[in-house]
């Protein structure tokens, strides 16, 4: 039987990969010789930076009553010990439970799981053949395992795979291309770590920022946020709040986030669709900018519109030609659409 991908080994990595591929409509089979659930010797520590990824797979750890781990404690047989705080921290969860939950998620996502040992793997005519005995031979164009394969086609547990690789199959031309996935994996890891650190800073400065905006995360991955920004007291938008939506891509912070007004607002640098014209969201974007700094800049824009680069030409014309009508139009719009504070 032919599959898009075969995975040898049903640990955390194998099960996670199986779920990701199956969610992309790939036909996936996974081989695990043990039957779930089963115990494994493991530190049973999950860093907080990994929680958004597990949530994206469908595993919500927040509903579990897990021990919170914030300190590393090392001790010697003589009784000497040291304690150090963990900067990121994490939670404790046994591999018995973690693997079992991922196993059930994999089944729900459509992964076929065989509780049998893969005996031999051969690459024949650009197709992997995985032998699991006399009954069946599976021939997936993409194979993933914890170990390399030796010259005799046996699984070699002494040689660890060091790089993530993907086989891109061209079925019409019967060719296979090998692609190194190390760079994309690193980008994904950097992206999640960056978002986790930003969230920490947002919580740290929540009290001082509360006079400027209120921020809420819409999903556990940290890719969607919603905020209410408050009109500065010296601006025409004072005493009103405006809802904005923030979206982040997998290439962040190399590429800018997107932010749009949900609340209708009359502003020189905001068009009718809620799109915002700010240089720091375009050609002046740098990776040092973040969610919090963009929101603070947006609040500042309410006080000091950039008339030289308008996104609402009609309002910009009123600003230059008839300041009274300009101010009246903004106040009427605030009264009609904005959130009264």
pLDDT along the chain (341 residues), means of 10: 81 94 89 93 88 94 92 88 91 95 97 88 67 59 50 44 39 38 51 79 93 90 91 97 94 93 98 97 94 97 95 96 97 98 93
Do 16 and 100 belong together in one domain? yes
Residue 67 lies in a domain: yes
Residue 206 pLDDT: 94
The structure's pTM equals: 0.51
Residue 60 lies in a domain: yes
The catalytic residue among 5, 42, 277, 334 is 277
Residue 177 lies in a domain: no
158, 181, 210 - which closes a domain? 158
Residue 181 lies in a domain: no
For residue 333, give the CATH number of its domain: 3.10.110.10
Q: Considering only CA atoms, which of 108, 140, 102, 103 is closest in space to residue 123?
A: 140
Rg (CA), the chain: 27
Three-class secondary structure of residue 242 per DSSP? strand
Residue 16 pLDDT: 95
Domain holding 223, by residue range, is 192-340
Evaluate whether 59 touches 101 at the Cβ level (below 8 Å): yes
For residue 142, give the CATH number of its domain: 3.50.50.60
Residue 163 pLDDT: 37
Residue 194 pLDDT: 82
Task: Tell me phi and psi for residue 26, to 5 degrees.
Answer: -95, 145
- Count of structural domains within the chain: 2
Question: Residue 20: which residues within 8 A CB-CB, separation 6 or more?
Answer: 57
Residue 334 falls in the annotated catalytic set: no
Do 134 and 243 belong together in one domain? no
Do 204 and 309 belong together in one domain? yes
What is the Cα–Cα distance from 324 to 296, expressed in whole angstroms?
A: 27
Do 117 and 250 belong together in one domain? no
Do 152 and 206 belong together in one domain? no
> CB count, 10 Å around CB of 295?
22
Q: Please give the C-alpha separations between residue 18 and each of 112, 152, 158, 230, 274, in angstroms, as whole numbers.
A: 9, 27, 24, 45, 39
Three-class secondary structure of residue 82 per DSSP? strand
Residue 182 pLDDT: 45
């Amino acid at each position: 039987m032919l599959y898009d991908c075969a995975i040898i080994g049903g640990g955390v990595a194998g099960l996670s990969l199986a779920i990701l591929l199956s969610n992309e409509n790939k036909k996936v089979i996974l081989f695990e010789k043990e039957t779930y659930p089963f115990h494994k010797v493991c530190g049973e520590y999950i860093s907080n930076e990994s929680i958004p990824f597990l949530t994206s797979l469908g595993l919500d750890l927040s509903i579990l009553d897990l021990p919170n781990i914030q300190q590393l404690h090392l001790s010697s047989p003589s009784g000497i010990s040291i304690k150090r705080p963990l900067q990121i921290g994490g939670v404790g969860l046994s591999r018995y439970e973690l693997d079992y939950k991922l196993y059930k998620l994999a089944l729900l996502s459509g992964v076929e799981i065989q509780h049998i040992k893969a005996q031999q793997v051969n690459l024949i005519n650009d197709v992997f053949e995985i032998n699991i005995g006399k009954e069946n031979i599976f021939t997936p164009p993409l194979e993933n395992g914890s170990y390399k394969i030796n010259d005799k086609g046996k699984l070699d547990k002494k040689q660890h795979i060091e790089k993530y690789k993907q086989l891109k199959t061209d079925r019409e031309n019967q060719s296979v291309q090998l692609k190194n996935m190390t760079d994309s994996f690193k980008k994904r890891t950097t992206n999640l770590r960056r978002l986790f650190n930003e969230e920490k800073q947002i919580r740290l400065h929540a009290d001082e920022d509360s006079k400027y905006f209120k921020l809420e995360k819409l999903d556990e991955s940290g890719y969607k946020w919603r905020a209410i920004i408050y009109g500065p007291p010296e601006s025409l938008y004072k005493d009103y709040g405006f809802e904005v939506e923030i979206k982040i891509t997998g290439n962040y912070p190399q590429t800018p986030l997107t932010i749009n007004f949900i609340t209708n607002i009359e502003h020189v640098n905001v068009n009718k669709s809620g799109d915002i014209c700010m240089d720091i969201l375009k050609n002046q974007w740098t990776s040092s900018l973040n969610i919090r700094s963009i929101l603070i800049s947006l609040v500042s824009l309410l006080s000091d519109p950039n008339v030289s680069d308008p996104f609402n030409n009609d309002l910009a014309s009123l600003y230059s030609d008839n300041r009274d009508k300009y101010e009246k139009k903004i106040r009427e719009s605030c009264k009609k659409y904005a959130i009264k504070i």
